[in-house]
Structures are given as C-alpha cells and as structure tokens.
C-alpha cells in the first residue's frame, strides 16, 4: 500500500484493520454501542429502549430491522395492539418508547433489560422508566443500561 500523496510504501499492514460495517449499518459510537448491547442480550429476554427523541427511536428501529431483530415502537394510535404483541410474541424482543410519553402506568414485566439512550435533566423520568419493568410481580433480575456519550 502506498501513500496517496508521495507514493512511498506505507509500513503498516492494512489486513489487520477492523472490517468496516456493511453499508447502512454505521451510525455513530453511541448507536453502535446500544445496538451491540441489544444484540448481546439473550434471545429469550425482552428489552425496552427509552429515548427523549423520536428520531433516535426511528433510527434504532431501522437498524434493528436491518439486523433481523423484531421490535415495536409505540406511537400515538397503535399502543394497545403493539404492547400486546410485545407481551405475547416471543420473537418481538425490543420495545421502543419515548421517555416522556408512555412511561406512566405501564407494566412491562416481560422485559428484563432497560436501555436509557441519553441522560435526562429530570432524574424522575429515568426512575419512572425503570419502574415500568421492575414491578412487584417481576420474577427475573432487571438490568439497566445507561448511555452518557
């Protein structure tokens, strides 16, 4: 391999460089970390991803779909049927929720992992989001993943 400017041979082995992600799968370090952590969760466990931004949830939905992970995103108008789908179908592993909207009075004891994509200036929102999964009738250990990048 030669330098593009001076055409002198370069003294490093390019074959040892990490492979580039397939086209359409690269989206930044935080998103890569989140997606990697979601893929590491045991396939029989369910996850809930909270974000303050609907655009982030749209990106997570697109990336997980590209990777073959079934997930649902609650939006206005489709809440009941999608929540039931998340609760009853084993292959639907991830539920995407806005941090402020749908985390009041929601019981999600099927999930064992909570992912908080970005920090919030209101700690009560994070506490309430985590409480959606950790309920009195929860029998499995609950894990919370926070991303602060």
User: What percentage of the chain has pLDDT greater than the value 90?
Assistant: 30
Q: In the CATH hierarchy, which fold is given to the domain comprising 45-146? A: Rossmann fold (3.40.50)
> Looking at residues 51-74, what average pLDDT do you find?
91
Range 16-41 average pLDDT = 77
Kindly report, residue by residue over 101-120, the tens digit of the pLDDT: 765 667 787 888 999 999 88
Spatial neighbors of 49 by CB under 8 A, at least 6 apart, are 34, 38, 57, 60, 94, 95, 96, 97, 115, 117
What the block records as the tokens of 128 is 């309430």
**Angle, alpha carbons 77-95-115 (nearest 5°):** 130
Q: Helix (H, G, I), strand (E, B), or coil: what is residue 116? A: strand
Domain boundaries, the chain: 45-146
Separation between Cα atoms, residue 105 and residue 108, nearest integer Å: 10
């Amino acid at each position: 391999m030669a330098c593009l400017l001076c055409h002198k041979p370069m003294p490093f082995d390019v074959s040892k460089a990490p492979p580039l992600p397939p086209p359409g799968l690269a989206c930044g370090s935080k998103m890569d970390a989140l997606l990697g952590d979601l893929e590491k969760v045991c396939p029989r466990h369910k996850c809930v991803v909270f974000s303050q931004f609907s655009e982030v949830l749209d990106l997570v939905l697109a990336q997980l779909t590209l990777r073959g992970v079934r997930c649902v995103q609650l939006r206005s108008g489709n809440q009941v049927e999608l929540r039931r789908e998340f609760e009853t179908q084993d292959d639907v592993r991830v539920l995407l929720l806005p941090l402020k909207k749908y985390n009041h009075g929601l019981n999600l004891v099927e999930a064992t992992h909570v992912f908080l994509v970005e920090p919030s200036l209101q700690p009560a929102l994070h506490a309430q989001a985590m409480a959606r999964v950790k309920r009195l009738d929860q029998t499995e250990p609950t894990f919370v993943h926070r991303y602060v990048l």
